[in-house]
Amino acid sequence: MVREWDPRTASSVEIASLLDTLNAVLATDLPQDPPWRESSLREYLSEVMPGERRISWVAQDEPAGDGTPGRILGQVQVLLLGGIGVLEVLVHPSMRRSGLGRTLVKLAARRIRDEGFGSIGVEVVGDTPAVAFYESLGFTRDYVETRSVLDLGAVGWPALAEMATGVGAGYHLEFCPGGPPDDLIEAYARAKAEVRDVDDGELRPSSYDPERLRDSLDTLHRRGMKPYIVLAIHEQSGEVAGLTEVVVPAQHPTRADQYDTIVVQDHRGYGIDRAIKARMLLELRSAEPELAEVQTWNAQANEAMLKVNAELGYRPDRDWCEYGVDVAELVHRLDAQH
Ligand SMILES: CC(C)(COP(=O)(O)OP(=O)(O)OC[C@H]1O[C@@H](n2cnc3c(N)ncnc32)[C@H](O)[C@@H]1OP(=O)(O)O)[C@@H](O)C(=O)NCCC(=O)NCCS
């Protein structure tokens, strides 16, 4: 049976079952990725930024005779933000190629259309069945990034410590666990605003104004994702010259996610990118003893950043693509198929 499903009110048996399916999917499609844990999974699935909505459906076995909920073997969720519906679909490996993925997308696509949204976007991991799946539904590729992974066990820490101090005179670095301090929020937002649109995909929007930035940090915390930030401060002006953000999610705390790294145009060429990233890794090593890896996503054209990441020890892992489709076209295609 397929039904709309609300993670906020779902039983913990259902949350655990969804986790089993997610981990079966990871083991099949991304076997090097760490399995997810249940901690804050409900919050991860439920919490959204102000103004955004997430709607979800599951494919579930019938309940057992004693009333135990059936296993969740598939899920689709859509995040409605701006003018776009961002889709995520999961089908248990034992249930694939029987049309379930398509059924789930059909439900979500109709709702997205009914809610008045014109387009759908989805992140698709290279070298997985999702590529053929979305292409069969008429999605086209809008944007490709490379995911790279750093194994902290292979890092040369003395060299890294040197990189962390290799920032030009007139700058100092600040480590901010939890997020930027309140008195630097405005300067932080200004730094992010300056490089907006540069090589940014559409599906992971950054927050450029202070209010939105506060909301975004607050949402991360509510979802069980702990942000860490290293700032490069230009001493003369007090401006944020560079920043790097890493998030350690409670759901997979052995592998952290690198978010934005920005060096403001006027402050390029002073070793800031290398120094803030190196300092971050040094700090994380003591702040998050469980952490074993960090993953990052870069546009393939961003050669300067790829070079620094390679120096730090990041190894390219997979293509990470954004696909999109017009909602009306998708609904039309799915209605015609069945
Ligand atoms: C992508 C996914 C949702 C597809 O689910 P599914 O139920 O197997 O898909 P369907 O049976 O509805 O397939 C619909 C069409 O997609 C295409 N397709 C799906 N899987 C395919 C594959 N492995 N190879 C080639 N084509 C494929 C086919 O055209 C198929 O139609 P057909 O079976 O009549 O030929 C599923 O593989 C999945 O959950 N992948 C993980 C997705 C994800 O986001 N993972 C994140 C971490 S990796």
Supply 302's token pair.
């961003």
Separation in Å, CA 9 to CA 4, 14, 54, 310: 12, 10, 14, 44
Ligand 1 in reach of 22 Cβ (< 6 A)? no
Residue type at 104? L
Give the integer Cα–Cα distance in Å for 332 and 214: 40
Ligand 1 in reach of 96 Cβ (< 6 A)? yes
For atom 7 of ligand 1, which residue has the closest CA? 101
Ligand 1 in reach of 99 Cβ (< 6 A)? yes
Give the integer Cα–Cα distance in Å for 251 and 37: 5
pLDDT digit string, tens, across residues 67-112: 888 999 999 999 999 889 999 999 999 999 999 999 999 999 999 9
Ligand 1 centroid to Cα of residue 35, in Å, is 21
pLDDT value of residue 199: 46
Alpha helical stretches, state H, 128-262: 130-136, 157-164, 185-194, 210-222
pLDDT value of residue 303: 86
Ligand 1 in reach of 129 Cβ (< 6 A)? yes
Q: What share of the chain is helix, strand, coil (3-state, %, to 5)?
A: 35, 30, 30
Question: Among 94, 69, 77, which residue's Cα sits nearest to residue 16?
Answer: 69
pLDDT value of residue 207: 66
pLDDT value of residue 240: 97
Question: What single DSSP character describes residue 180?
Answer: -
- In the predicted model, residues of the chain with pLDDT beneath 70 are 196-207, 338
Q: Are 298 and 310 in contact (CB under 8 A)?
A: no
pLDDT digit string, tens, across residues 176-189: 999 999 999 999 99
Atom of ligand 1 nearest to the CA of 97: 11
Atom of ligand 1 nearest to the CA of 29: 48
Residues 6+ apart with CB under 8 A from 226: 177, 178, 220, 247, 248, 249, 250
Query: What kind and span of H or E run contains 295?
Result: strand 293-299
